[in-house]
Amino acid sequence: MASGKGEFSDRKKMILKAVIDEYIRCGEPVGSKYLTTSANIPYSPATIRNEMSELERMGYLEQPHTSAGRVPSENGYRYYVRSLMQSYSMTMSEIAELNRLTRAKMSELDRIIDSAAKLAGSLTNYTAMTFRGSDVYSTVMSFRTMKMNDRLFLLIMVMDNDSAQTRNVATEIDLTDDILSRLEKVLNTHIAGLEVDAITLPRIMEMEQEMGDAAPLVQQVIKCVYDAAKQGEGSMKFEGVNRLLQYQEYSDLEKFRGFLGLLEEHKDDLIDVVTKADPGETNVYIGSDIPNSKAGSSALIFKNIVYDGKVIGAIGVIGPSRMDYSKVISTLDYLSDSIQKMVGSPALPPVKESEAPKDDG
């Protein structure tokens, strides 16, 4: 905006940025005295007070008490993220830790996304958010069977994230140890390690031919494989919620319960936010931007992982609205971009020091 009364002059931008930077750091209302003595604002106290009053009138600052300084409003945070904050320059130790994490195989994508989100939460000291997209399926890496009785067996499927899923399979076929042994061999030979869309009809027919009279078992097992592969689709997880107890925004028990309710009871709304967000951007939701948010001053920041035009996952953090946006956004950008590269290659080469994020300010 052009300078002038009620408009955003460079002076107002300088003062607003200083207020938000300090409030993020200390969590206390910021007064004109601090800006005059400690923030290197080259204007008189009277001018600063007038500009702060004007920023409050414009809706970018708020005054919690008449005798207190100002705090940022939701609109103030939004403008700060969009136009004022400086990019966070990562330390070499942080970059080394990110590189160590992301030098991994594509087959470990589930664990990589979980680990990346946990790392983001740890580095920023907020709650980590992980999303796995509905168009992504787990893969069964190996099969085992266990006879329960003559018409019932237990199918054990070890998934690509090292978890095990089991299904009780009832059948009209008289089961023998030989039949179950053949079934194990057929499954492990033909479909173990395959994504579900690679389990084609010709492959299934070949398996049925090898099973002979016990061919109906193949169709029953295939249904179990599809069911297991879809487990957790469109899922969202949070890690490190207890970190937020150190922030004054969540010291009120009722507010913290409201925050937990958002995470536990309204995951579908948050999943909807993630899947509809701009896949190419680091998405920032502040306060009332978050659906069903009863926690008050909170912010959600995340970035999607995209493959073949579809959102296959996302990593993010959620915490107080006075969070360190610059550091959070830089961390999520770095991690998500690294994972994005892995989607198209088996391993990610080390990032050179010259490729490290730079401080634009």
Non-local CB neighbours of 205 within 8 Å, separated by 6+ positions: none
Task: State how beta strands 127-132 and 71-72 pair.
Answer: unpaired
Q: In the prediction, which pLDDT does 337 show? A: 85
The structure tokens listed for 181 are: 């042994």
Chain position carrying tokens 């008050």: 296
Residue 111: pLDDT above 90? no
Residue range 63-83: average pLDDT?
A: 86
Helix, strand or coil for residue 146? strand
Q: What pLDDT, on the 0 to 100 scale, is given for residue 45? A: 86
Listing DSSP states for 297-347 in one string gives SEEEEEEEEEETTEEEEEEEEEEETTS-HHHHHHHHHHHHHHHHHHHTSSS
Q: What is the pLDDT of residue 129?
A: 92
Nearest-angstrom CA–CA distance, 124 and 332: 10
Give the best-scoring range by mean pLDDT among 20-24, 64-68, 193-197. Answer: 20-24
Q: What is the pLDDT of residue 212?
A: 93
Give the residue, 320 or 229, on which the prediction is more confident.
320
Provide mean pLDDT across the span 324-343.
Answer: 86
The two three-digit tokens of residue 285, written as one number: 């939701």
Question: How does DSSP classify residue 45?
Answer: H
What's the pLDDT tens digit per position in 153-191? 999 998 887 777 888 999 999 999 999 999 999 999 999
Closest C-alpha among 349, 361, 247 to residue 296: 247
Q: Which range is most confident: 87-101, 159-173, 290-304?
A: 159-173
Q: 235, 134 in Cβ contact below 8 A? A: no
Whose CA is closest to 62, among 282, 259, 296? 296
Flag whether pLDDT at 349 surpasses 80: no
Stretch among 177-181, 182-186, 206-210, 285-289 having the lowest mean pLDDT: 285-289
CA distance 211 to 218: 8
Contact 198/180 with Cβ under 8 angstroms? no
Residue 5 has pLDDT above 60, yes or no: no
pLDDT of residue 105: 44
**How confident is residue 6, by pLDDT bands cut at 50, 70 and 90?**
low
The reported pLDDT for the residue numbered 345 is 40
Q: What is the mean pLDDT of residues 8-26?
A: 90
The answer for residues whose C-beta is within 8 angstroms of residue 35's C-beta and 6 or more apart is 15, 18, 19, 41, 48, 52
Q: Band the pLDDT of 3: cuts 50, 70, 90.
A: very low
Domain(s) of CATH 1.10.10.10: residues in the chain: 10-84
Residues of the chain with CATH 3.30.390.60: 140-229
Provide the CATH topology of domain 92-136+233-355: Beta-Lactamase (3.30.450)
Distances (CA, A) of 59 to 9, 70, 71, 79, 257: 15, 11, 11, 11, 28
pLDDT confidence bin for 294, thresholds 50/70/90: low
Say if residue 84's pLDDT is above 70: yes
Query: How many Å apart are CA 167 and CA 144, to the nearest integer?
Result: 11
Residue pair 152/168 in contact by the 8 Å Cβ criterion = yes
Comma-separated ranges of CATH 3.30.450.40 domains in the chain: 92-136+233-355
* 346-to-41, 247, 340 alpha-carbon distances in Å: 50, 40, 11
User: Tokens 């003559």 sit at which residue?
Assistant: 150
- Interacting residues of 253 by C-beta distance below 8 A, sequence separation 6+: none
Task: Say how far apart CA 315 and CA 129 lie, in whole Å.
Answer: 6
Mean predicted confidence (pLDDT) in 289-318: 81
Comparing CA positions, the residue from 343, 278, 342, 359 lying closest to residue 98 is 342
Share of the chain above pLDDT 70, in %: 83
- 50 pLDDT exceeds 70? yes
- Packing angle, helices 201-211 and 216-229, rounded to 10: 140
Are 155 and 219 within 8 A, CB to CB? no
Q: How far apart are CA 343 and CA 136, in angstroms?
A: 13
Tell whether domain 10-84 is in CATH 1.10.10.10: yes
Q: Nearest CA to 318 among 252, 253, 272, 274? A: 274
This prediction has a pTM of: 0.58
Q: Residues 27, 244: contact at Cβ < 8 Å?
A: no
Residue % of the chain over a pLDDT of 90: 36
pLDDT, tens digit (0-9, with 9 covering 90-100), for 211-222: 999 999 999 999
Instruction: Classify domain 140-229 at the CATH class level.
Output: alpha beta
Average pLDDT taken over every residue of the chain: 81
* b/e code 215-228 from CB counts within 10 Å (16+ = b): eebbebbbebbeeb
